[in-house]
Amino acid sequence: MAAGTDVLSPPAPARRRRPKATRRRRDERRLAFLLCAPAVVVMLAVTAYPILYAVWLSLRRADLRFPTQSVFVGLTNYTTVLRSGLWWQAVANTLIITVVSVAIELVFGMVIALVMHRALVGRAAVRTAVLIPYGIITVVAAFSWRFAWTPSLGYLPRWLHLNGDPLTAHASSLAIIILAEVWKTTPFMSLLLLAGLALVSNELLEAARVDGAGAWQRFTHVIVPVMKPAILVAVLFRIMDAFRIFDNIFILTQGSNSTQSVSILGYDQLFVGLNLGIGSPVSLLIFVIIAIIGFGFIKGFGAAAPGMDTGR
């Protein structure tokens, strides 16, 4: 977008007030809309249509295995989902995983970002090393975790002197899922925070030091406030991501021992149960929750949504 505007309009401030320039602006605006139109049409086709179709399906009994029984059932599917213990168990699991993993990631991510920022030697090597977990395919990493935690195959239960298989109980399974999430996405968090750290100018820190601020005070009163937009964006991204957690659970437990997340529950209804009428409300409820989280962050904390200009 930025590059396109530069090419099309190098308007000198002096010419802007002339009526001719206004007309030219209007033409440009029309051209801009025309140029956007294909993208808008494609977006409507690939996002708006499926969402509306899901809404329609969610109001019907629509089971692929019983095509003749398809009828309009109103909001029955929603009440079925909202009354189901499985749904609330999945919501609870997802919230626990989201809150705990994002909190740990934020702390670790900040520590690693500070280390990377301060690293004097081998900066590139440190950054590469930190990024390795994020570069490994989630499914592969999840399999490694699963084998590592399986007694007789893996080493972790032996090191920790565990009796039994930690992936067969609810609490320990959730803990391992969170561990796998944290291990994998802390690098992402630290990279986003590192970008934020670059906003903190050395003069500011020097001034704070001259005023007698200690290391912790400089962190809480200078670094964090300046970095706030970056922190909020990082946390928002990770919450939205973590709330949709799927692959780690799919490999580690398949949702057994009541470890389903909302995404796993939706997948089970749609792809295993083939019950589109029940699966669609689950997907739509996930969509609504994510939307609320996003809006809450932008309105409540003033986090910048991608594309919004905060610099000005």
Partner 1 sequence: MPERRTTGVVARLAMSLLLVTITVGCASSQAATGNTVTFYIFNEPGGSFQRAADTCTQAAQGRYHIQLALLPSGADGQRQQLVRRLAAHDPSIDIMGMDVVWAPEFAEAGWIRAVPDDIKVQVTRDGTLPAALKTATWKKTLYALPYNTNTQLLWYRKDLVAAPPATWDQMISEAVALRQQGKPGLIEVEGAQYEGLTVWFNSLVASTGGRILDDDGNVAVDGTSRQAADIIRRLATSPAADPSLSNTMEDQARLAFESGKAAFELNYPFVYPSAQKDVPALARVMAWAPWPAVNPNTPSHVTIGGINLGVSSYSRHPDIAFQAAACLRDADNQKYAAIKGGLPPTIASLYRDPALRQSYPFADAILQSLRDASTRPLTPAYTNVSLEIQSALSPPSHIDPPKVPSRLDTTLRDAIASRGLVP
Smallest distance, Å, CB 221 to partner 1? 46
Q: Which of 232, 265, 285, 303 binds partner 1 (CB under 8 A)?
A: 265
Which range, of 6-14, 50-58, 164-172, 292-300, touches partner 1 by CB under 8 A?
A: 164-172
Asked whether position 17 contacts partner 1 by CB under 8 A, the answer is no
Smallest distance, Å, CB 245 to partner 1? 18
Q: Which of 152, 161, 306, 307 binds partner 1 (CB under 8 A)?
A: 152
- Conformational region of residue 162, where left means phi above 0, alpha means psi within -120 to 50, and beta covers everything else: beta
Q: For residue 227, what are the CA distances in angstroms to 194, 207, 217, 295, 305?
A: 10, 17, 15, 20, 15
- Between helices 138-149 and 170-197, what is the axis angle to 10°? 140
Q: Which of 210, 271, 299, 308 binds partner 1 (CB under 8 A)?
A: 271
Q: For residue 223, what are the CA distances in angstroms to 49, 131, 220, 229?
A: 44, 23, 6, 12
State which residue, 38 or 306, has the beta carbon closest to partner 1.
38
List, as one string, the DSSP characters of 58-117.
Answer: HTEE-BTT-GGG-EE-TTHHHHHHHH-HHHHHHHHHHHHHHHHHHHHHHHHHHHHHHHHH
Smallest distance, Å, CB 167 to partner 1? 6
State which residue, 152 or 202, has the beta carbon closest to partner 1.
152
Asked whether position 273 contacts partner 1 by CB under 8 A, the answer is yes
Which range, of 37-45, 135-143, 144-152, 202-210, touches partner 1 by CB under 8 A?
A: 144-152
Asked whether position 79 contacts partner 1 by CB under 8 A, the answer is no
Cβ-contact 302, 310 below 8 angstroms = no
- Give, as ranges, the residues between 231 and 260 that touch partner 1 (CB under 8 A): 254, 256-257
Q: How many residues bind partner 1 (CB under 8 A)?
A: 33
Smallest distance, Å, CB 218 to partner 1? 44
What contacts 24+ positions apart, CB below 8 Å, involve 65-71? 65/274
What contacts 24+ positions apart, CB below 8 Å, involve 127-134? 130/187, 130/190, 130/191, 131/187, 131/191, 132/187, 133/183, 133/184, 133/186, 133/187, 134/184, 134/185, 134/187, 134/188
Cβ-contact 261, 280 below 8 angstroms = no
State which residue, 90 or 141, has the beta carbon closest to partner 1.
90
Asked whether position 80 contacts partner 1 by CB under 8 A, the answer is yes
Smallest distance, Å, CB 178 to partner 1? 19
Asked whether position 202 contacts partner 1 by CB under 8 A, the answer is no
The structure tokens 């994020």 sit at 134
Asked whether position 272 contacts partner 1 by CB under 8 A, the answer is yes
State which residue, 144 or 257, has the beta carbon closest to partner 1.
257
Binding interface with partner 1 (CB under 8 A): 63-67, 80-81, 84, 86-87, 150-153, 163-165, 167-169, 254, 256-257, 265, 268-269, 271-275, 278, 282
